[in-house]
């Protein structure tokens, strides 16, 4: 497969949050596009640090960002089936390192297999290799040269593994409680987005804050990454494609959160609903499998259920109050009220 057919990057963040990257690209890119490419690693890894800064000291790690790709009407010049990012994090006494893979492919890739390569081989190899070289070479150890060669080697390994069909793996089916529903409507020249959740005086609202980075962060992440993926597609000249966030997986120790979204486009109006889901926390109410939420997101989108009825299905404790999430002042209000444990 030619470089033009694939988007592939590997980013490493050390314990001091310094970022190193290696991105495969076509020599046909302009100097301006190459300059924009150099900023991708900082933009993709930025929210990894944002979640840490917004969660009372808890280090939340973004493990998966998955997007579906669609073609603009009448434009099918680019063939790409999947776009996703995987992040491996290793914690040590010195802090946390992140190894972040950015992949756009013409195939529906096996995420589990690629994540295993990232987490069990490439990242540990970097971690152990640095320790050994620092011990052997001391001040003569050139970390910049070392990490560059490791990223190139890791990228070759991922590149070699791409093109495999996605397999079905057995895994424990967890239950999830919905602690927020995000509604977005985007039309030409206009857009609106809202969060529905518990009442601000509901004790479950405070309880939910123990299980997520914050409501503010969970509202920011989907739009941030969807816009960033669209920017990436433009840099790589995939101009007939646009992205739609499907899921974002975050974790902190034994806590796991999934943002799950479904969308539809009709008459140039894009409408989507996204559920903020907390894994294995019965206290938050109405625990269900992921398939339950996917089904009901689609039913609301298809007009087979009214939103008021849908809110009850996602969590009977939700109110009908809309929290706007479109502007900075809206997000600041969410931060001041919904993310406030003192209210």
For the stretch 213-250, pLDDT in tens is: 999 999 999 999 999 999 999 998 888 888 899 999 99
| pLDDT grade for 78, boundaries at 50, 70 and 90 | low
Return the pLDDT at 106.
85
pLDDT > 90? residue 270: no
| pLDDT grade for 102, boundaries at 50, 70 and 90 | very high
| pLDDT grade for 48, boundaries at 50, 70 and 90 | low
Q: What is the value of pTM for the model shown?
A: 0.91
Looking at the structure, tell me whether residues 92 and 201 fall in a common domain.
no
- Residue 241 · residue 233 · CB < 8 Å: yes
Return the pLDDT at 58.
64
250-255: which pairs have CB atoms within 8 A and are 24 or more residues apart?
250/51, 250/60, 250/61, 250/62, 250/63, 250/213, 251/60, 251/61, 251/63, 252/55, 252/58, 252/59, 252/60, 252/61, 252/213, 255/211, 255/279
Looking at the structure, tell me whether residues 211 and 84 fall in a common domain.
no
Tokens of 139: 């001040």
Alpha carbon distance 277, 262 (integer Å): 14
Whether 171 is covered by a domain: the verdict is: no
Return the pLDDT at 28.
79
Q: Report how many domains make up the chain.
A: 2
Looking at the structure, tell me whether residues 148 and 208 fall in a common domain.
no
What domain range includes position 289?
A: 176-337
CATH number for 87? 3.30.450
Whether 237 is covered by a domain: the verdict is: yes
Return the pLDDT at 66.
94
pLDDT > 60? residue 282: yes
Q: What is the mean pLDDT of the chain?
A: 87
Looking at the structure, tell me whether residues 114 and 260 fall in a common domain.
no
């Amino acid at each position: 497969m030619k470089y033009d057919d694939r988007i592939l990057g590997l980013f490493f963040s050390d314990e001091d949050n310094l970022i190193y990257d290696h991105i495969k690209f076509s020599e046909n890119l302009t100097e301006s596009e190459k300059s924009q490419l150099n900023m991708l690693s900082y933009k993709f890894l930025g929210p990894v640090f944002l979640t840490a800064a917004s969660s009372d000291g808890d280090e939340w790690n973004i493990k998966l960002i998955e997007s579906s790709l669609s073609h603009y009407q009448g434009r099918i010049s680019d063939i790409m089936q999947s776009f996703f990012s995987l992040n491996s994090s290793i914690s040590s006494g010195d802090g946390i390192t992140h190894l972040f893979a950015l992949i756009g492919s013409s195939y529906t890739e096996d995420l589990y297999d690629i994540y295993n390569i990232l987490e069990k081989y490439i990242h540990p190899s970097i971690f152990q290799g640095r320790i050994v070289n620092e011990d052997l070479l001391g001040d003569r150890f050139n970390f910049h040269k070392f990490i560059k060669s490791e990223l190139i080697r890791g990228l070759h390994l991922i590149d070699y593994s791409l093109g495999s069909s996605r397999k079905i793996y057995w895994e424990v089916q967890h239950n999830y409680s919905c602690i927020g529903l995000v509604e977005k409507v985007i039309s030409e020249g206009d857009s609106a987005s809202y969060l529905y959740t518990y009442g601000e005086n509901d004790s479950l609202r405070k309880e939910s804050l123990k299980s997520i980075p914050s409501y503010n962060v969970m509202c920011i992440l989907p739009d941030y990454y969807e816009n960033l993926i669209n920017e990436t597609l433009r840099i790589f000249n995939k101009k007939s494609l646009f992205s739609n966030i499907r899921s974002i997986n975050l974790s902190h120790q034994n806590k796991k959160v999934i943002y799950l979204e479904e969308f539809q486009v009709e008459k140039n109006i894009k409408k989507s609903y996204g559920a903020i889901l907390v894994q294995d926390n019965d206290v938050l109410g109405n625990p269900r499998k992921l398939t339950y939420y996917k089904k009901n997101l689609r039913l609301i989108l298809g007009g087979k259920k009214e939103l008021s009825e849908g809110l009850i299905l996602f969590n009977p404790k939700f109110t009908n109050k809309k929290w706007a999430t479109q502007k900075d002042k809206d997000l600041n209000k969410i931060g001041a009220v919904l993310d406030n444990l003192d209210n």
